[in-house]
Amino acid sequence: MTQRSILIIEDEADIRNLLQYNLEKDGFRTVPVASGEDGLQLVRNESPDIILLDLMLPGIDGLEMCRILKADRKTSNIPIVMLTAKGEESDIVAGLELGADDYITKPFSPKVVIARIRAVMRRRSSRPATGIEPIKIHGIEIHPGKRSVIVDGRHVDFTPTEFEIIYFLATHPGWVFTRYQIVDAIRDEVAAVTDRSVDVQIVGVRRKLGDFGDIVETVRGVGYRMKEEE
């Protein structure tokens, strides 16, 4: 297996070194840099498998980096995991909507970082199951063809919008989506959903899932996600 490489863009030396040490110990190759400018210089030559991107950077900040990397065809496919501080929820939302894959809030343990990196790589290599095959997740079954949901062996009626939301989340377990991303994903299927009404729809989805309601997780200040199966 080829060694996976990780571009670390982080201006705080302590955090950068901690990441470098632990990722290399775990078998990754790392390219650590202290600024967005250096990151942009290296990203094309190194073509890393993943980018760990601090949001608060001097010079070009993390959000601007997301914008630049996602706008360039040569770099737009490289997954980005944002490193964020508490209270940066609005920047996290902006970053996810710019195409970042995930985020990790500081302070973090190296173990968590490695687990999240592996999860992002796993999701990238296994394409979301969409189509006609039913999805089975956490004991529920979602049948896209029949547009039906079976909870605990029992058929449950979802409204078209509720159905699209749970189907979309269930095809991307573990991914956090902002309200806007959810609206954007389902708007070809159901009209007239606003990002505010997503909250109301989620309440309906959870109620209908009954004891399974907690598989749709609220990510405070950011959005929603389907719990990843262990």
Judged by beta carbon, residue 54 or residue 102, the one nearer Ca ion is: 54
When asked if residue 38 is in the footprint of Ca ion (CB under 5 A), the reply is: no
When asked if residue 184 is in the footprint of Ca ion (CB under 5 A), the reply is: no
Q: Which stretch binds Ca ion (CB under 5 A): 54-62, 86-94, 115-123, 132-140?
A: 54-62
Rounded Cα–Cα distance for residues 86 and 221 (Å)? 11
Residue 60 DSSP class? S
List C-alpha distances in Å: 62 to 40, 92, 117: 12, 10, 18
Tell me the residue number closest to Ca ion, measured at CB. Answer: 56
When asked if residue 11 is in the footprint of Ca ion (CB under 5 A), the reply is: yes
When asked if residue 56 is in the footprint of Ca ion (CB under 5 A), the reply is: yes
Rounded Cα–Cα distance for residues 148 and 157 (Å)? 7
Q: Which stretch binds Ca ion (CB under 5 A): 49-57, 96-104, 154-162, 221-229?
A: 49-57
When asked if residue 156 is in the footprint of Ca ion (CB under 5 A), the reply is: no
Rg (CA), the chain: 19
Judged by beta carbon, residue 53 or residue 186, the one nearer Ca ion is: 53
How many degrees, rounded to 5, is the angle at CA 125 between CA 213 and CA 136?
30
Residues near Ca ion (CB under 5 A): 11, 54, 56
